[in-house]
A and B are shown apart, each in its own frame.
Chain A
Amino acid sequence: MTAVLRAEGLGKRYRRRWALSDCTLEIPSGHVTGLVGPNGAGKTTLLSLAVGLLAPTSGTIEVCGGRPAADAAQLAKVGFVAQDTPTYPGLSIADHLRMGAHTNPRWDDAVARSRVERLGLDPAQKAGRLSGGQRAQLALTLGLAKRPELLILDEPVASLDPLARREFLQVLMEAVAEHEVSVLLSSHVVRDLERVCDHVVVLVDSQVRVEGDVEALLDNHVRLTGPRRDPAALPADQHVVSASHTDRQSTFVVRTDAPVLDPSWTVGRLGLEDLVLAYMEGSRAVAAGPVLEVLR
């Protein structure tokens, strides 16, 4: 299995703030990979680095075997649907398709046209008059008809209503099955990704917290609930991801490869959303803990 995206010590600094730091990552090809994390975690920065809109401050990134946006051939390998799905408001849908045909060597006009038809859009309509959902569909059409090896989508459904969201993701899944394209998409809403992703990367505070196959991750993470106790007292092969305590009870999310044998625990399985939230909470506790101590 080859990697569609490989990052080593990747970092990006805007003036004095690091939007992404020391990111080492390998995303296998042939998967739909979800990039999740809270707002401002560095998702857009990572994706912009992957399509070459940004240049790294440190480290390296390689996408489909080349430096992002190095030349026209490299650009042709990667499709991109940017955040808020920008289109030219004064240009019609047909104009956008012509733009795609003129600027992409592997452009598949039949795919583009049939998709527009299936969506029930009028090709003469100006993009500026489309609804958010329709514009997102147009941007997706441009990305798919380019016939890339990797399609990157940055928060494609963030501004859509629930119905348009579901439609968009459904269309995306159909297209992925049809064209055998690798997909990397970001969202801060885990539930959107749960249905479509088989691989996930969790990015919090500009760093990769966890990454891997969704099934495998759900198999080796469990929620333990039981009488209150210190996390340090847990067995060495149980890595605490997050911990919360009431007066009498402790709840831990732990990563472990071995089955949990301690009978005092109630062992629960996690959904992807729980898992991601646990990593987000865990990192917040680590960051905020000492500060609160000092304030007290």
Chain B
Amino acid sequence: MIWLTWRQFRAQAAAVAAIALAFALVLAATGRRLADLATTYRDVFDHLTANDRHLFYAGIVVIAVAPVIIGVFWGAPLVARELEAGTHRLAWTQSVTRTRWLAVKLGVTALAAATAVGLLTLAVTWWSQPLDGALSSTHGSLPSRLTPVSFAMRGVVPIGYAVFGVVLGATLGAVLRRSLPAMAVTLAALIFVQIAVPTWIRAHLMPTAEQTVTFDRQRLDGIGISDNGPGTTTHVTVNTKGGVGNWVLSNQTVDASGRATGLPSWFGSCLPPPPAPGTTEGPVKVQGPDTLDACFTRLNAEGYRQHVVYQPAKHFWPLQWVELALFLAVSGLLAGFCFWWVRRRLS
């Protein structure tokens, strides 16, 4: 049965393995220089070439896409193609029980997916380690590894996504009994999961940290104005202590009673006027340092504080393992359902 599974699977496996290996080789060839850069300079960002930055984002895209591709092209047709072509009648009447047939097929495919994506994520994680959260001394940065942009494209979590993709695809294929619809639904479902997990789930996997801080220039990260005529609200974002690498979940101004609020209207006069329509928007120049400091002092005196909720950078690995465990557990449950469906409902 393992032989048959491998015989049916080897072409697809070879294709994915070739792509994964090629990408890993490119990373291996360029990665050493980055590691050297990081030990030499503090502001790595300023020493990167455009090519480096493209590769950085390519790494994110590849690891985001790989589990989806694997789920759609390995998982969805796994059972569906047999049902579609009627070959399940051939496979299920050899001297191998249906349970064993599915166990081997699903096991081999999931293992191959975990290996392929595991290799990729190992390469990408190693390669981008010096770059994650890299800052410039003046302007610009790369996202840190805990932010939703790159968390699921680093460490061990991508393996969980790949296994989940295969099991989800296989289950949908068994239920829908047609490859193409199964592939389409798998694609949609996996994209949804990749958006839903960072949006609604990941932040709650571990207790968050929070800080209520006073305003000062060192902490200022940016000031945003949404100009909707009268009642204009202004938002300030500030750095949390330790700053780099934290995943900020909410960054809100609270008044003296602790209620979330906007900044008081007088704060608007502390800021430069918005650029006139038609002019190009340059970097916002904060009015004279004295003015802003005075405004901050007044804000602090009136009881305004900035309330920041975040996942601290040190939660990266614990969160990785928890999310991996979550995906493997859900995959296990789904696989159980798949076995039940193939044994009972397809007869």
Contact = CB atoms under 8 A, between A and B. Distances in A.
B96 A82 contact: no
B39 interface: no
A32 to B, nearest CB: 19
Interface in A69-85: 69, 71-73, 75-76, 78-80, 82-84
Contact of B7 (A48, A91, A142): A91
Contacts of B226: none
Contacts of A55: 344, 347
Interface in A258-295: none
Most buried by A among B89, B98, B344: B89
Contacts of B344: 55
B93 to A, nearest CB: 4
A65 interface: no
A273 to B, nearest CB: 29
A86 B92 CA distance: 12
B86 interface: yes
- Chain A interface size, as a band, is 35 or more
A197 to B, nearest CB: 22
Nearest to B96: A103
Interface stretch (A93-101, A163-171, A222-230): A93-101
B3 A79 contact: no
Interface in B160-177: none
B185 interface: no
B280 interface: no
B99 to A, nearest CB: 10
A99 B4 contact: yes
A250 interface: no
A80 B93 CA distance: 6
Contacts of B2: 102
Interface residues of B, number: 22
A162 interface: no
A55 B88 CA distance: 15
A75 B86 contact: no
B92 A99 contact: no
A95 B97 CA distance: 20
B95 interface: yes
Contacts, number: 80
Interface in A26-54: 48, 51-54
A146 interface: yes
B98 A69 contact: yes
Nearest to B85: A86
Contacts of A91: 7-8
Given A88-B87, A98-B3, A99-B4, A69 B92 contact: yes
Interface in B72-106: 85-90, 92-98, 100
Contact of B93 (A71, A73, A78, A95): A78
Interface string B1-15: 111100110000000
Nearest to A98: B3
Contacts of A76: 95
A105 interface: yes
A102 B3 CA distance: 7
Contacts of B3: 98-99, 102
B93 A51 contact: yes
B18 to A, nearest CB: 19
A95 B7 contact: yes
A102 B4 contact: yes
A75 B99 CA distance: 13
Contact of B94 (A54, A103, A139): A103
A24 interface: no
Given A54-B347, A55-B347, A99 B94 contact: yes
Nearest to B97: A72
Contacts of B89: 48, 53, 80, 82-83, 86
Contacts of B4: 99, 102-103
Interface of B: 1-4, 7-8, 85-90, 92-98, 100, 344, 347
For the complex of A and B, 10 pairs with smallest distance between CB atoms: A82-B89, A103-B94, A80-B93, A76-B95, A86-B86, A55-B347, A104-B95, A75-B95, A102-B3, A86-B87
Given A80-B89, A82-B86, 4 more contacts: A75-B94, A82-B90, A83-B86, A104-B94
25 contacts: A53-B88, A53-B92, A53-B93, A54-B347, A69-B98, A72-B96, A72-B97, A72-B100, A80-B89, A82-B86, A82-B93, A84-B86, A86-B90, A87-B90, A88-B85, A88-B87, A88-B90, A89-B85, A91-B8, A98-B7, A99-B3, A102-B1, A102-B2, A104-B94, A142-B90
